Structure 1
């Protein structure tokens, strides 16, 4: 049984707290994300596979499905 995967996640910049809703890719991990407000380049926190798992309101699709992200 596979649960429905959410593809929208709101990323919050840890520097300026700017928030933006983004659509997560289903075929790749997103390792980098540039805040459109302060231009900080975000990278995943230690132990997370992508920026959505670190800074998003919703974890990435592979994690939602209970699998490892990008073969990690």
Structure 2
């Protein structure tokens, strides 16, 4: 049985606790997120593929689909924002 992909996740900032519900991209991982509360630039925790896997309440679509995030194996250097 195939489960429905969840495309919305609530990101909670580890710095100020602000929570915001965002739509996740389905074709790429999101490496950076600007907190809507304090403005902190969030990056994935070590071992996570994206900010949704680190700070969201729902894992990103590649993880939901495959259990792995092969599309996100390389995290770009700071200053080179990719969505």
- What is the TM-score with the length of structure 1 in the denominator? 0.92
Contact 2:49–2:72 under 8 Å retained in 1: no
Secondary structure of the residue that 1:65 maps to in structure 2?
helix
In structure 2, what is the Cα distance between the partners aligned to 1:7 and 1:25? 8
Unaligned runs of 5+ in 1: none
Contact 1:15–1:40 under 8 Å retained in 2: yes
Q: Provide the alpha-carbon RMSD of the alignment.
A: 1.2
Q: CA deviation at 1:67?
A: 4.3
Unaligned runs of 5+ in 2: 74-83
Which aligned segments of 4 or more residues in structure 1 are displaced greater than 6 angstroms?
A: none
How many residues are matched?
Answer: 72
